[in-house]
Amino acid sequence: MLKKITYAFGALTLLFGLWGFYDRFAFGHQDANYGSYVVWGLWVAMYLFFAGIAAGGFMIATLDLLFDIPAFKGTGKIALWGALVSLAAALLSIWLDLGHLERIWKVYLQGNPSSLLFQMVWGYTLFGLLTLAALILEIRKPGSRALKIIMWIGLPLSLFISGAVGALLGVNASRPFWHIGLFPVQFPVFSLASGAAMMLVALGLFGSRDDPHRPQQLWTLSLMTVILMVVKLYFIWADYSQSMYGNVPMNVEAIRQILFGQYWWAFWIAQLLI
């Protein structure tokens, strides 16, 4: 019954999302409501969310396919599939944010190798190819040496693409609130938390109930998700308290806007409560 409800909810959200596609292609960025506070549209937020799940899903897959942890036996294929689908959703979301969608090829052929954005684009491309190759090998030749090599290469790459997002925002000197060394370090932690949560949902709803490892897997993933969420709260407290006590006017105003401004609900309800 729960699976049917999940499928029905997914179908409804897909239909609702089709309206978003129409709005994007018919009216462009007109309805994004940009301003000094909302500097990007929802596409960028969804890109960050799905890219984090993709990197975290790959990290979780290494527990089975690289480190051979018995409790996670059989979960690698699901984690890789979740990572691949999430990566596709992330890249589609950021593609929709581009002003000229047809110019995506310029990043590959006319990019600046020293640019973080250039490195991220190629990083995502390589990560996607490695994830696809690992999934194919896990299906056709599970436990092969080639699969181990791919997982070894993919693990540091997943850390890079998750941390690079924070680095891209953190080097923006015009926004002191982001311009801190701690900012990029947070994103791999967030990615791992998202990957653990994704696997918790996937195994909880669609995992085999006959699998003897399932109870331990669900317990471990639940504990991992809760612990990483606590770590995330610690990062938020560290960022906000440092900015407030540092008394840098731009930082203080940014935090006040987040906590008590027009979009206070985005922090207190969407980020903390939900």
Mean of all residue pLDDT scores within the chain: 89
Q: Whose CA is closest to 175, among 257, 89, 94?
A: 257
Average pLDDT over residues 91-112: 84
Tell me, what's the pLDDT at 37?
66
Tell me, what's the pLDDT at 77?
95
Question: How far from 215 is each of 92, 142, 211, 255, 264, CA to CA, in Å?
Answer: 35, 24, 8, 41, 38
Average pLDDT over residues 27-54: 82
Task: Give me the CATH topology for the region 32-245.
Answer: Formate dehydrogenase/DMSO reductase fold (1.20.1630)
Q: Does pLDDT of 149 surpass 90?
A: yes
Q: Which amino acid is at 256?
A: R
